[in-house]
Amino acid sequence: MAHQLRRIGRIVRPHGVRGEVKVAPETDRPEIYLDLQTVLVGSDNESAVSFDILSANVVPSRHGVTAIVQLDAVSSRDAAEQLAGQRVYARAEDLPELADDEFYYDDVIGLVVLDQDGSVLGTVKDILEAPAQDKLVVSRPGRPDVLIPLVPAFIGSITTEHVVINTIEGLID
């Protein structure tokens, strides 16, 4: 039986000379790296390879926080360099339960985006993570993509079927 994988980060670059990697967490709970025993690393979830976590630490960085992770079988800077840019995944069953108002970014990508009146605006193409706030990238047929700040002022609700945004003057042309 295949495990459901959740994307939880991206390896940025090596850290030090002993094979540790810097991971940009893609979760609002970066401390999960401290509790996980195994992650999968790859360009996508189909090709991801399992690694045991030997040690992990979460440290402040100019982008918020960074996870410094030592993976088994990665014992040199060169080996760590080979993982730069790869996605980090965890098995869904290894992750903590979500609260009612929490969601995985993977589950939001592809959802239909509606305005508060129920009109279709497009679909969620991606989520850009930024220090101030994350942004939904909304793809609109025949029109430029639009960025919607992922904050309560603009996000009315997120369900398993759609995202409702509160539009204001100038948010969407």
What DSSP assignment string belongs to 36-78? -SEEEEESSTTT-EEEEEEEEEEEEETTEEEEEEEETT--SHH
Determine the pLDDT at residue 169. 66
pLDDT for residue 170 is more than 80? no
Who wins on pLDDT, 99 or 66? 66
pLDDT for residue 40 is more than 90? yes
CATH of the domain at 67: 2.40.30.60
Who wins on pLDDT, 60 or 76? 76
- pLDDT tens sequence across 117-135: 999 999 999 888 776 778 8
Q: Residues 10, 87: one domain?
A: yes
Average pLDDT over residues 27-53: 92
Average pLDDT over residues 25-36: 87
Q: End of a domain among 31, 66, 94?
A: 94
23, 9 Cβ separation under 8 angstroms: yes
pLDDT-derived band at 171, boundaries 50, 70, 90: low
Number of domains in the chain: 2
Query: To the nearest whole number, what is the mean pLDDT of the chain?
Result: 88
Q: End of a domain among 94, 123, 151?
A: 94
pLDDT for residue 111 is more than 90? yes
Range of the domain at 65: 5-94
Q: Residues 57, 126: one domain?
A: no
Determine the pLDDT at residue 79. 95
Distances (CA, A) of 83 to 23, 34, 62, 76, 104: 10, 20, 22, 11, 23
Q: Residues 80, 112: one domain?
A: no
Task: Count how many Cα atoms sit within 13 Å of the Cα of residue 109 in the half-sphere of its side chain.
Answer: 9
pLDDT-derived band at 103, boundaries 50, 70, 90: confident
Q: Residues 82, 129: one domain?
A: no
